[in-house]
Amino acid sequence: MKTEQREPALWALIPAAGVGRRMGSDRPKQFLRLGSRSVLEHTLDIFLQHPGIRGVVLVLGVGVDRDAMDLPDAGGRLFLVTGGEERADSVRNGLGFLAQRGQPDDWVLVHDAARPCLPPDDLDHLIAVLRDDPVGGLLVAASTDTLKLAGTGDRVERTLDRSRVWRALTPQMFRLQALRAALEAAAASGVPLTDEASAMEFVGASPRLVEGSPMNIKITRPEDLDVAEVYLNRQQRLRSAR
Ligand code: C5P
């Protein structure tokens, strides 16, 4: 008898449990308004609109009033999980939830809630490039500035070769079980992590770099909201012109 070859599912995991201190606002940056909706609603929409994504795990802070949130009606594809102290803890909680629903070799796309300008074409491209990759990888952007490595006393130690340096963006796409194990191993060793690729590197894997748009900014400071609005309008214009 022929056994059915199962195509690994794609899940999105959105860590949104940060407090965003650098923003200096009355609420975490993912809940601020960006045009007619919140930053988080823009971000969620990108993944909920994608026909290839099986489900979206949204990781929220402990004190967040979920009933007061205007979450989209996602037809049972949106799952809420509580986050942790650091970003990596929030992602681990989300993966723990997914481990009960998905298969170990399913793909997980981890994407910051604070990146509402991810172009849908970049998401498609990332998935297409990595679908058969043995490790997975991440969206990156080139550095347009010359990069200096600091030595001591605010002095340049050397200039980096900018053709080899990339800015790590999200989504970062890895296999559910492999990513979970890598994050657990890094946590057990006390290694601080700011992205998923670092966890994979920690266990000896080499994530693939996939160049994406520099429009995929992370909202961090108040002025970023104005920039994000310009980028979203630009994307809308480009879509309408197609
Ligand atoms: O603080 P930073 O900008 O690096 O956060 C990136 C993303 O990780 C944000 O979407 C934030 O809400 C999320 N995060 C989280 N849990 C934390 C810290 C950050 O889900 N403890």
What are the tens digits of pLDDT across the range 127-175?
999 999 999 999 999 999 999 999 999 999 999 999 999 999 999 999 9
Alpha-carbon span 50 to 41, nearest angstrom = 14
Residue type for position 189: S
Report the CATH architecture of 10-140+168-241: Alpha-Beta Complex (3.90)
Residue type for position 161: D
Alpha-carbon span 79 to 56, nearest angstrom = 6
Confidence of residue 21 (pLDDT cuts 50, 70, 90): confident
Measured on CA atoms in the order 109, 111, 113, 118, is the torsion positive or negative?
Answer: negative
Confidence of residue 2 (pLDDT cuts 50, 70, 90): low
- For ligand 1, whether the C-beta of 13 sits within 6 Å is no
Distances in Å between the Cα of 173 and the Cα atoms of 139, 143, 191 are 9, 22, 20
pLDDT of residue 70: 79
Q: Mean pLDDT over all residues of the chain? A: 95
Question: Model's pTM, two decimal places?
Answer: 0.96
Q: What's the rounded mean pLDDT across residues 184-202?
A: 97
Tell me, in angstroms, the distance from the centre of ligand 1 to residue 94's CA: 13
- For ligand 1, whether the C-beta of 93 sits within 6 Å is no
Give, using CA atoms, the residue closest to atom 14 of ligand 1.
18
pLDDT of residue 128: 98
Burial 55-94 (b: 16+ CB within 10 A, else e): bbbbbbbeebeeeeeeeeeeeeebbbbbbbebbbbbbbbb
- For ligand 1, whether the C-beta of 90 sits within 6 Å is yes
**pLDDT of 46-72, one tens digit each?**
999 999 999 999 999 998 888 878 788
- For ligand 1, whether the C-beta of 113 sits within 6 Å is yes
Q: Return the number of other C-beta atoms located less than 10 Å from residue 102's C-beta.
A: 21
- Greatest CA separation found in the chain? 70
Q: Which stretch, 13-22, 63-72, 179-188, has highest mean pLDDT?
A: 179-188
Tell me, in angstroms, the distance from the centre of ligand 1 to residue 14's CA: 9
Tell me, in angstroms, the distance from the centre of ligand 1 to residue 87's CA: 5
Could you tell me how many helices (H) and strands (E) the chain has, helices first? 6, 11
